[in-house]
Chains A and B, each alone.
Chain A
Amino acid sequence: MISLGDPIASNAVLAALQIGEEDNIIAIKETPNADSNFVITHLIKKIIYEKKRLCLVNFHNTLDHYQNIGKKLGYDLLKGVDEGIVKIIQPIRDLLENIDQEDKYLQENTENIVKQLYLDIKDSLRVLKENNKSVYLIIDDLSHLHDLGVNINETLTFLHYCMNFIDDNDVSVVFNNHVSSKLDEIISNDLEYVADVHVEVSSLKTGMSQDVTGLLTIKRKSDVKQYHYKAFDRGIKTFHPGESIYHLYN
């Protein structure tokens, strides 16, 4: 086992994901009662380790949450923001200013919501790409666009625009999507179709368990890998189904 060095080798989640240079579209599907946030935080760890640029769009969790987890996983997101290698767009914070004014994230013309979000992302990516570094765009999570009233066509158009960033070949996109309604499912199926890597985080069908938190399914076109995972305070352990006892008690 490698103690220091490349987290892709030493970190269980990253070793399971095996995200490479050629994986430009990564879709994460989160089913009800499961929490896929660890996939994103681990991807951030990899991005920061590889000194790539990151644009993070926070709908679901605050920057504090990412910073606190980052400390546990061994990276400093705020330092990255100061150094200009990380840009954060925070709808969850900026939304508050729109409760009175009906602008930006809260407005009747829902098309403008995604338009303005797209322009924000475009600006951030333009700054981040300046030194010809490759950039990751992470959106956590898409399904909150529904909560804001954005309809399915507008969401798909927004996704299409985001994927067009990839044409430059130095941008990769990561979409996290929570699936709880029919509309979420349509978006998720579309994402699964276009994604290079599709990661599904679901709870166990049999219910809650002390030894296993949930199921991690990683699809690359026809290649499907399944892992069970157990979440601890400071990290995630993954194992093949049936091996949980061996990993937990040895």
Chain B
Amino acid sequence: MEKKTFKSIPGTAYSSQNGHLLVSSGIPSLDTLLGGGIPVGTVVLIEEDFHGSYSKIVLKYFLAEGIVSKHSTLIASQDVNPSNIIKELPAVIDSDLDSTEISKISGISDKMKIAFRYQNLPTADSARNQYRHIGHLYDLSKNMSFSDIENSDICYWNGQRIENGTRLYSNPAYNALLRSIRNKIRDGKFYLKDSPNKRSILRIGVHSLGSPMWLPHRKSLHSIDSTRDLDKFIFCLRALVRSANAVAVVTIPTHLYHEISLDRCIHSSDIAMRLQAFGGTELENNQSLAEYQGFFYLTKLAAINSLASRHPGSMEYAFKLRRKKFSIDVLHLPPDIHDDSDPKRQSIPLTCGGGTKYLDF
């Protein structure tokens, strides 16, 4: 990954720390967490939440960012029609408008007074400003316009035409997808050794890899062989994207694999994350977590071209989904104050001994 060979590809930036070429994941808070963005030439593995809805949103952000930055896209899924994923991509918010908005907000916050002892403490915002954000902002409530989608280079793979030629995989779909990706990289001249007129990035999105829909028709149960396929696929995908200007985001429904561990896949990938949604679990009604929709775990953040990983360490993260925005935040539990709206509690006198009848042991 020589620095000189790249000539300012739109939608990319060099990491200030290790000189790595980065692309945005589309989610500013995730970019910050990953040290500025996703390094080009890596495989990102997302372990899906139970219903796969939040992981799909992360994937959509990643693809939308690619289309806005004029990158090429390859989208693969056997569960849903990949063109539907593209149709549902979030719309980009006009970036000019947004930067003025941000400056307005920061202008207000400058005027506010803070207690002197907190003045010099680093805030979350300053940590965010450490990295120049390369991505755009998106509005989840609107869909991207058709003209944007039609004008971009998108390759769909839905596993309809699979040749049964290979015996390398117990499921030929994996090999077919690998070949499609390889052909796309070759035809689009994304290899590092290629020198096309205009360099671009290929974004590869694989939705729900290894889900029940990926099984060969003859078999009805998960077998050891099928996870072997998954290991081999991820390893080959790693080799592919390493040699090209490409980034792959793969979501895997890991809860279907509870017997067989995915450690091998995680080892072959560069960044691994897991989403755990609260919906449908006992955490759903937990008052202190009401602000969040689920936990976000950064399982792996590999050190590429460097000795030290940028992993933030022991921090705990949670993700939020609002009407227009998906974000990942450091998990903050709210202060343990009882609900003030309860009139009974307000009437409790704060003296010792008085009003003993309200004390409940």
Contact = CB atoms under 8 A, between A and B. Distances in A.
Q: Do A and B come from one complex?
A: yes
A235 B18 CA distance: 13
Contacts, number: 106
Contact of A106 (B228, B236, B261, B264): B236
A152 interface: no
A148 B232 contact: yes
Nearest to A211: B313
Nearest to B228: A149
B306 A68 contact: yes
Contact of B243 (A69, A96, A208): A96
A99 B240 CA distance: 10
Interface string A138-154: 00000110111100000
Contact of B261 (A68, A181, A207): A181
Contacts of B1: 62, 64
A83 interface: no
Contacts of B2: 64
B232 A92 contact: no
Contacts of A93: 239, 242-243
B314 A208 contact: yes
B179 A99 contact: yes
B308 interface: yes
B307 A231 contact: yes
Given A100-B179, A231-B307, A149 B232 contact: yes
B182 A99 contact: yes
B321 interface: no
Interface string A19-41: 00000000000001101011001
Contacts of A246: none
A155 interface: no
Contacts of B182: 96, 99-100
Contacts of A233: 17-18, 306-308
Contacts of A207: 314
B303 A231 contact: yes
A64 B314 CA distance: 30
Q: What bracket does the count of chain B residues touching chain A fall in?
A: 35 or more
A107 interface: yes
Contacts of B234: 147
A39 B35 CA distance: 24
A210 B309 CA distance: 12
Contacts of A96: 182, 239-240, 243
A11 B154 CA distance: 50
A209 interface: yes
B268 A147 contact: yes
A65 B168 contact: no
A108 B243 CA distance: 24
A35 B309 contact: yes
B311 interface: yes
B304 interface: yes
Contacts of A213: 308-309
A198 interface: no
Contact of A108 (B167, B239, B263, B303): B167
A249 interface: no
B280 to A, nearest CB: 27
Interface string A93-115: 10110011010001110000000
Given A32-B267, A147-B268, A233-B308, 14 more contacts: A32-B266, A33-B300, A64-B305, A93-B242, A96-B243, A99-B240, A100-B179, A144-B268, A146-B231, A148-B235, A178-B267, A210-B313, A231-B309, A235-B307
Interface of A: 32-33, 35, 37-38, 41, 62, 64-65, 68-69, 72, 91-93, 95-96, 99-100, 102, 106-108, 143-144, 146-149, 178, 180-181, 207-210, 213, 231-236
11 contacts: A64-B1, A64-B305, A65-B304, A143-B267, A147-B264, A149-B228, A149-B232, A181-B261, A208-B311, A213-B308, A231-B308
Closest 9 CB pairs of A and B: A180-B263, A68-B305, A231-B308, A147-B235, A208-B314, A208-B313, A147-B231, A95-B239, A92-B239
